[in-house]
Homo-oligomer: A and B are copies of this chain.
Amino acid sequence: MQTPEPLGGTRPTSRDVARTAGVSQATVSLVLGDKWRGRVSERTAGAVRAAARELGYRPNLAARNLRLGRTRTAMLVVPALTNEFFAHVYTGAAAAAARHGFGVVLYPSPDGLGPARDPFASAQAALDGVIASSMATGALEAFRGTDLPLVMLDSDPAGPGAAAHVNLDVADGMRRVTDHLLGLGHRRFLHLASAAPSWTFDVRAATLAHALRGTEVRTERSPLNVADAWEAAGRALDAPGPRPTAVICDDDILAVGVCKAARRLGLRVPDDLSVTGFDDMALATVVEPELTTVRLPAEEFGRRGMEALLAVLAGERPRPDTLPVSLVPRGSSGPAPAA
């Protein structure tokens, strides 16, 4: 009643462990840090471990981080949490990190694909490095004035400021999509692009434009969610003039919106309209017919990103790397309807 002692009192420190084990604090640190090969006797080490267990000792991470000058923690910055893709990137990064005793903190950039404001004010954890995935052009700004090593995923390898780059071969992915559709006889296209400015989407657009030169291509932009994509696609498909026979989307989410719009307009997929996605998330197999899409190795992507960061922290300078992607043909794409 007098001193409430909030929740179980105060935590035991290494000094407490030392006292109950009858040794000095330094010995505790050596034993618990596994650096006692020939410095501490077997029985003393046992006594220390027993005391630690008895007291329920847990090292104070803040103190350790302060002493060591590193935290063994990385931050993964992602533009959105509602996009399943980033969940897989995180999984891969976290797995790779764990193998090296690292933890990964997830920081969803609050502005969607916009610049990350002040990631360090929000994610208060001290960090060894940052992995930024598919951030918007200019999101880098938030990291200026910082000496934290930065690994960029899916961003311009020629861009400044990053210690390492890992990319997906989205250009190849887009080429596979256009080859596929051209082979099916399509000549009038709608490109439903992401409204967020980002290098990865710029590459897709440029590749598409080059691969489809000589055909008819319209472009519409939409934020990465079903409702907006639905509306944007409805607008574009209902426009005057000859209707596109194929819609190429920058993301599965957009493609799902297109499928909804097509249904609303009475267009059958793929008989009247072919639709392709990008990412090959679970969402791609939810719609009927299932989406033809580009499979991205998301977990591998996260893993490589983390490995690149670890390499940077080890003083290396990893080469920019590009991961292969593949086309997954499914029911949403078919021969162009007879003119």
Q: A-side interface residues toward B, CB under 8 Å? A: 4, 6-9, 11, 56, 58, 60-63, 65-66, 71-73, 80-82, 84, 86-88, 90-91, 94, 98, 102-103, 105-106, 108, 110, 120-126, 145-149, 163, 225-227, 256, 260, 263, 282-283, 285-288, 315
Contacts and interface: CB of A to CB of B under 8 A. Distances in A.
A103 B126 contact: no
A163 B282 contact: no
Given A103-B124, A124-B72, A286-B283, A7 B226 contact: no
A171 B66 CA distance: 48
A103 B122 contact: yes
Closest 4 CB pairs of A and B: A125-B125, A81-B87, A62-B65, A103-B124
B126 A62 contact: yes
Contacts of A288: 260, 263, 288
A121 B60 CA distance: 12
A123 B126 CA distance: 11
27 contacts: A4-B315, A6-B315, A7-B149, A61-B120, A61-B124, A62-B62, A62-B63, A62-B126, A63-B66, A73-B124, A81-B81, A81-B87, A81-B91, A82-B87, A94-B108, A102-B124, A103-B121, A103-B123, A103-B125, A105-B123, A226-B282, A226-B285, A226-B286, A227-B285, A263-B288, A283-B283, A286-B286
Contacts of A286: 226, 256, 260, 283, 286-287
A134 to B, nearest CB: 16
Contact of A122 (B61, B98, B283, B285): B98
Most buried by B among A72, A94, A124: A124
Contacts of A56: 145
Nearest to A90: B81
Copies of this protein, total: 2
A62 B63 CA distance: 7
A306 to B, nearest CB: 13
A15 to B, nearest CB: 15
Contact of A124 (B4, B71, B123, B227): B71
A260 B201 CA distance: 31
A125 B61 contact: yes
Contacts of A123: 73, 103, 105
Most buried by B among A8, A90, A263, A286: A286
A286 B61 CA distance: 45
Given A9-B147, A227-B285, 16 more contacts: A7-B149, A60-B66, A60-B126, A62-B65, A66-B66, A71-B125, A80-B87, A81-B87, A87-B108, A90-B108, A103-B124, A105-B106, A125-B126, A260-B286, A263-B288, A283-B286
Most buried by B among A9, A62, A65, A87: A62
Contacts of A81: 81, 86-87, 90-91
A20 B60 CA distance: 33
Nearest to A72: B124
Nearest to A108: B90
